[in-house]
Structure 1
């Protein structure tokens, strides 16, 4: 299946140039909101348009959550830089009213999409957690379990962030993992596609049996990544 992957938008509407009829799937990597350049009107209007696209193509369009989105969805938790108090009521309502349209992860075979990426260290500790033992179902993919966490528990494990992002957790989770974490310890056996860590151009790191592709480039160029998975 042919997919197109859209990096962190932060209010940008460059995604509108994509002809979605050419693809079997489209994955938005999250961070739809928070911008130092776009107005309080432009950002929610762009998010409404993305939500409308999802409703038009509910099976084709995948909307992942980013750390900037979660701070509004779960306000007042998980604060991060760029937060706009003036927009909080409108954005929180948008995310909460449409929560069922968003997810933490998307997966096809060993192709795994999250906002920031998954490391071996974080995933090892995640699997050892009590909440994981309660929510995991036999046959789950990694994405299945992460998405169940988002909808069925307030457990903060998936929102953890480490000292690399001024946090206090031992490891960054799939919404907050820093480039230095995923660069050195990306999850074995998977090909990951992530945003979150700004790059001047798309960057792929390949190691034996795994890879990670960084796609937070829209602040530099209107690039959308095509893959067959």
Structure 2
């Protein structure tokens, strides 16, 4: 299996040709994973950003088995309007985007997992799991298991209480929670609370190039793919047996 990772778009349309080329040569087992944050650009005009998001939705509908769409912190404010807010929010686009997100909500997930790789928007820290482990167990009725962590995260999306856990924002990111959830955690905290046996693939925090910090012996670490502010032609491709 090959996996093409598309980081935070924020209205950018530079994904079209690389994704088309990848899917043209791809097998049925290959995947394209979008890491979320399709909107809230500070430079792209409203209509262009809206059109680009619609193109993402159309791609997912054409390729339901090979394209995976994840949710980021800039998706929650539109999907669950008016509960959440973050920088770059476009109030003039909010009604249309809310309808698009709600109508196509089944196309999105918080996490996707294959083998040792866990894909989320920002990452899952051990600190967040420890702080919320009991709440998650009471809410979902089962213990958190690293082997199926994506399923747990996606189940949290179904309830208001679960969404609040996913959204947790610490003072480091301007919030009031004790820790940052999978939509907000930054590499400085993710690296201090790595989950053993998982290689986390994330966006959320811009880098000059794709950044990798992995202990190959333990298959533990993370890869930050969000580099398109500086290197718009650089895409992460993973090869998985």
Output the TM-score relative to the length of structure 2: 0.89
Unaligned 5+ segments in structure 2 are: none
Distance 2:16 2:134 in 1: 42
Aligned to 2:25: 22
Q: Does the alignment pair 1:196 with 2:182?
A: no
Match of 1:132 among 137, 143, 149: 137
Aligned to 1:225: 236
Post-superposition offset of 1:137 = 5.3
After superposition, the C-alpha distances for 1:160-219 in whole angstroms (9 at most, x for unaligned) are 111110111111111111222112222222001000011111111124621100111111
Distance 2:214 2:116 in 1: 14
Post-superposition offset of 1:136 = 4.9
Q: SS of the residue aligned with 1:141?
A: helix
Distance 2:84 2:188 in 1: 21
Q: SS of the residue aligned with 2:92?
A: helix
Q: SS of the residue aligned with 1:14?
A: coil
Aligned to 1:185: 193
Distance 1:195 1:136 in 2: 30
After superposition, the C-alpha distances for 1:121-177 in whole angstroms (9 at most, x for unaligned) are 111223221x43342558871101111111x21111011111110111111111111
Distance 2:52 2:142 in 1: 36
Instruction: Please list, as runs of the form range in 1=range in 2, the aligned pairs for 1:1-229 lying within 5 A after superposition.
Output: 1-18=1-18, 19=21, 20-23=23-26, 24-129=30-135, 131-136=136-141, 141-150=148-157, 152-155=158-161, 156-207=164-215, 209=218, 210-221=220-231, 222-229=233-240
2:191–2:221: 8 Å Cα contact kept in structure 1? Answer: no
How many residue pairs end up in the alignment? 227
RMSD: 1.6
1:136–1:145: 8 Å Cα contact kept in structure 2? Answer: no
2:186–2:205: 8 Å Cα contact kept in structure 1? Answer: yes
Distance 1:32 1:136 in 2: 32
- Seen in structure 2, the aligned counterparts of structure 1 residues 51 and 137 have a Cα distance that, compared at 3 Å, is farther
Q: SS of the residue aligned with 2:192?
A: helix
Output the TM-score relative to the length of structure 1: 0.94
